[in-house]
Chain A
Amino acid sequence: MLRYLAVRAFRAAVTIALVVTFAFVVLRMSGDPAILIMGPEVPPEALAAFRRAWGLDQPIWVQYVRYFGAILNGDLGMSMRDNRPAIEMVAERIPATLALTVPALVLKLAVGIPLGVWAALHQGTGFDRAVMVAAVFGFAIPSFVLALVLVLVFSVDLGWLPSGGQGTVAHMILPVLTLGLGGAAALARFTRSAMLEVLGRPYIRTASAKGLPWAAVVRGHALPNAAIPTVTLVGFLVGSLIAGAVVVESVFSWPGVGRMLVVAVASRDLAIVQCILLLVAATMVTSNLVVDVLYGVLDPRLRHGARAAA
């Protein structure tokens, strides 16, 4: 088990290092930050001074090594625009993002999992079909389309809810719905198929043959098994708590991390972009790690090193 954890943790570290490198390469290759930030009409001396100040005059590999070394020391750099520590600026935005994504996650879990379980238990009925049709729609519609539809209906037509901005609970409803509905649909579909798979297993028949009431069979025998694949998707949803709101924050002009990322990319504010990417990678990787540990808890076959099979 400890070995298993160590392997996972090592992989997580490698993943983060790759993300960091990737961010570095892409951002340096796609335009000169000095020109983007200072503007094209700035005299060359000023540009050179800016480059010197930020170390952009060094060979690319020196920049990379410095950058990597700084990250290892926990220094994520200064915003080139505001000349404040990037990490501080990003941290200020996190609560706003979580204010959207956490309620949305709760919505996904509270709606998606019960719907999926219920649909599987009533496979083939009208309810099941209705859930599946809704899930396909919820899954297929891009979030900006859903956001626009919700805005059109609830803000423009009905005038019930504001179409953007921040401050009251009313402001949160549309963005949270936009975020939550798509995830709930995906989760419902996934839970349903995991559940159907488990319900067809011979051990479910054994549990019935023991005389357990059907509700006890579902609760005690089917759900623990169906939870194993479902945990993967839930882990992914948790992992996207920070990064999953980029589109929605932009549409509803919500001052979260996602919108900050869009702005920072447009203006080549390297430190901010890197800092956000690192944060996103870290949440993703951490939630993956938690999923792996949960697997071990839920599935005893993985706990002591699964034995090889065909």
Chain B
Amino acid sequence: MTAPALDLRAVARAYGGGRTLFGARPVVRAVDGVTLALPQGRTLGIVGESGSGKSTLGRLALGLETPDAGHVTAFGAPMPAPGTPAWRALRRRMQMVFQDPLGALDRRIPVADQVAEPLAIHGIGAPAERRARALDALAAVGLSAAQGGRYPHELSGGQRQRVVIARALITDPDVLVCDEPVSALDVSIQAQVVNLLIDLKAARGLAMVFISHDLRVVRQIADRVAVMYLGRIVEEGAAEAVLRDPRHPYTRALVSAAPAPGRHRRERVILSGEPPNPAARPAGCAFHPRCPVAVARCRSEAPALEPAPDGHATACHRVTPAAERAA
């Protein structure tokens, strides 16, 4: 069996804490013990609460940040330390599409040049060839050569997002981490980009981590889905199973709240209570203060992520025990 493209073991990352010249800071445990594997050529969707650590997890997975605990393996080898030659060489195989496209682009350089930049960095091709490849990559996401000559602020939000996607794809990476890659796109171009990613996965065995709030898009593109809540994974399984038959109460709320035109004013599970504060994690199950089915045990004991025999794992005391489900 080939090594998984990415393998994360109990990784954790906290921000803040400690004393600084500017006073004490609370510790925010952005990612708190996450174990995940991404087989080559597969797509893992990550959904979850805003601020639950999805972007942080994406950066950890690509080695853009180093975990405080746990370790990350890429293609069977430990993730090299940031800045080392090995790490830099790995950049070409592993790319990220950042959540904030404007922040990820340099405002002084025409976008086509920025798309070609990774080729120059990794010394691929002659300058003329690089330019041609950049224009091809832009065309693949529906942007013209004229638009390639513009500066980032001269493009619309969706156009910028596509530039970032084109830049990530130009080195033919093996792993792509997409952080909200299609939320700024109109549905038609979104369909075009999603189809493109699916085709790349099929044709080139591209492995992807696909972070999105749009459950429908995740459903289209992901093989498996992990649901995050306050730095931990609360549910993980095949995309179809998680999104059609959600087991964790948080996932159920998510799925019921997904809006669609046509089904006007539909039923949705409204979560009561405060959104969670990552600097003061509730004891027991972090979701219990907002959970409609919480019991006493949920307040004291944190549930572990337990896989059922069908491979669908849930971290909830109230989910029917695995054995019964399998029967």
Contact = CB atoms under 8 A, between A and B. Distances in A.
B287 interface: no
B20 A303 contact: yes
A267 B225 CA distance: 77
Given A200-B107, A307-B65, A308-B59, A1 B153 contact: no
A307 B15 CA distance: 10
Return the 6 tightest CB-CB contacts between A and B, nearest first.
A308-B64, A1-B20, A1-B21, A308-B65, A308-B82, A307-B65
A258 to B, nearest CB: 37
Contacts of A304: 15-16, 20, 25
Contact of A197 (B59, B65, B108): B108
Contacts of B59: 307-308
Q: What range describes how many residues of A lie at the interface? A: 10 to 19
A2 B25 CA distance: 15
A159 B177 CA distance: 72
Nearest to A193: B108
A201 B96 CA distance: 23
Nearest to B107: A200
Contacts, number: 33
Contacts of A209: none
A72 interface: no
Interface of B: 15-16, 20-22, 25, 59, 64-65, 82, 96, 98, 102, 104, 107-108, 153
A202 interface: yes
B153 A202 contact: yes
A304 B17 CA distance: 10
Given A202-B153, A304-B16, A310-B96, A1 B65 contact: no
A1 B82 contact: no
B82 to A, nearest CB: 6
14 contacts: A1-B21, A2-B21, A200-B153, A202-B102, A303-B20, A303-B22, A304-B15, A304-B25, A308-B59, A308-B65, A308-B82, A309-B64, A310-B96, A310-B104
Interface in A274-310: 296, 303-304, 307-310
A309 B99 CA distance: 12
Contacts of A309: 64, 98, 104
Contacts of A296: 21
Given A197-B108, A307-B59, A308-B82, A1 B22 contact: yes
Contacts of A200: 107, 153
A310 B15 CA distance: 19
Interface in A76-122: none
Nearest to B16: A304
Contacts of A197: 107-108
B95 to A, nearest CB: 9
A303 B16 CA distance: 11
Nearest to B21: A1
A204 to B, nearest CB: 11
Contacts of B65: 307-308
A307 B59 CA distance: 10
A273 B107 CA distance: 46
B107 A310 contact: no
Contacts of B22: 1, 303
B178 to A, nearest CB: 14
Nearest to B95: A310
A2 B104 CA distance: 29
Contact of B98 (A2, A303, A310): A310
B111 to A, nearest CB: 15
B280 to A, nearest CB: 19
A2 B22 CA distance: 11
Contacts of B25: 304
B203 to A, nearest CB: 25
A296 B20 CA distance: 11
A202 B153 CA distance: 8
A310 B16 CA distance: 22
Contacts of B21: 1-2, 296
Nearest to B168: A310
A210 to B, nearest CB: 19
Nearest to A300: B22
A310 B104 CA distance: 8
Nearest to A308: B64
Interface string A192-214: 00000100111000000000000
A309 to B, nearest CB: 7
A200 B108 CA distance: 10
A303 to B, nearest CB: 7
